[in-house]
Amino acid sequence: MHKFSGVIPPVVSPMKSADQLDVEAVDRVVEHLIQGGVSGLFVLGTTGEGPSLTYQMRYEMVERTCEHVKGRVPVLVGVTDTSLAESIALAEHAAACGAAAIVAAAPFYFDVSQSALEAWFRELADRSPLPVMLYNMPSCVGVTLDLEIVDALSHHPNVAGIKDSGGDWTYFQALCDKHRDREDFVIFMGPEELLAEAVAAGANGGVCGGANLLPQVYSRLYLAAVRKDAVEIAHWKQTIADMFASVYRDDEQRMKLIPGLKLAMEECGLCSGTVAPPLMAVTESHARRIRGSIPRLLAACEYSTVEA
């Protein structure tokens, strides 16, 4: 089983319209990410708007990404769904396209017990032709995977690790403490602003949405964290703080990560800013702030050290 590490960004899903994938833009984004030094690609995640896409778009996104990657980095595919059968069908499609693993958050409609969730993930792992990465995403699915359930599932031969986007540092530290000596179970941080701290705590890497725009920033931050280079870590964290202030947050300081990120990518010629409902485009005042920040953010990528 492949052991994943480094920065594996949750790839945006470029669209011509809310129900049509822009396949040429998929190629541009994928190449931009690989050339930026990322260690893998995670398609159909939260930043990829996976649950909002038509099933046809999901399948096309997997096909086009794997086709353009050509094995240069591992591709992980989000299969989160309310239907276990649909999750398994997408896992089979991902395997046929050459993906390396699937990623699944808990089914998000019915309120069920932790034991029911464990059974759901266990059946997915039993039937998936690809290794499974658990995805703890309570803000989107309404439930946190108990640490005991994660531990039990971690010993399944087809469960490869977990991505934690819960934002609870105590929970994340407990994951690292419990599994830090495991060679068969990896831990990834979701919130990108905590990447350096996560690596220091024992994480294997991060799933950083901002890497869609600035892959060098997050890749170099990860390497700096591995080296414990405090000066370089501080530099890259400042750039990420600028991303939050100028691209992610609207005028009322509410997070508009996906629409803001896509508009910034549109300004850089990577893809359109189109998002799928229920997301909406950013306001014009927020758009002006994003456009004004692009030269500054791109200039930050020019920073380098001998090691980098």
Residue 177 forms part of a structural domain: yes
Domains of the chain: total: 1
CA-closest candidate to residue 192, choices 76, 38, 14? 38
**Contact by Cβ (8 Å): 238, 246:** no
Segment 281-304 shows an average pLDDT of 91
Residue 175: pLDDT over 70: yes
Q: Label the pairing between strands 41-43 and 20-21.
A: unpaired
Residue 99 forms part of a structural domain: yes
How would residue 304 be classed by pLDDT, with cut points 50, 70 and 90? low
pLDDT of residue 301: 83
CATH code of the domain in which 24 resides: 3.20.20.70
How would residue 149 be classed by pLDDT, with cut points 50, 70 and 90? very high
How would residue 134 be classed by pLDDT, with cut points 50, 70 and 90? very high
Lowest mean pLDDT among 1-15, 23-37, 94-108, 207-221: 1-15
Residue 11 forms part of a structural domain: yes
Residue 13: pLDDT over 80: yes
- Better-predicted residue by pLDDT, 305 or 104: 104
Residue 290 forms part of a structural domain: no
pLDDT digit string, tens, across residues 164-174? 999 999 999 99
Residue type, 199: V
**Which residues, in sequence order, are CB contacts of 8 under 8 Å at separation 6+?**
38, 39, 40, 41, 42, 74, 76, 188, 205, 206, 207
pLDDT of residue 302: 77
How would residue 308 be classed by pLDDT, with cut points 50, 70 and 90? very low
How would residue 307 be classed by pLDDT, with cut points 50, 70 and 90? very low
Residue 70 belongs to domain spanning? 6-215
pLDDT of residue 306: 38
How would residue 114 be classed by pLDDT, with cut points 50, 70 and 90? very high
| Model confidence, pTM | 0.95
Which residues are identified as catalytic?
Answer: 135, 163
Residue 98 forms part of a structural domain: yes
Residue 287: pLDDT over 50: yes
Average confidence score pLDDT of the chain:
95
Residue 226 forms part of a structural domain: no
Residue 2: pLDDT over 60: yes
In this structure, the number of other CB atoms found within 10 A of the CB of residue 70 comes to: 10
CA-closest candidate to residue 32, choices 41, 20, 45, 43? 41
pLDDT of residue 180: 85
pLDDT digit string, tens, across residues 176-222? 999 988 889 999 999 999 999 999 999 999 999 999 999 999 999 99
* Token duo for residue 4: 């994943």
Task: Give the separation between CA 154 and CA 172, rounded to whole angstroms.
Answer: 15
Strand ranges inside the chain, DSSP E: 6-7, 15-17, 20-21, 41-43, 75-78, 101-105, 132-136, 159-164, 186-189, 205-206
Segment 274-287 shows an average pLDDT of 97
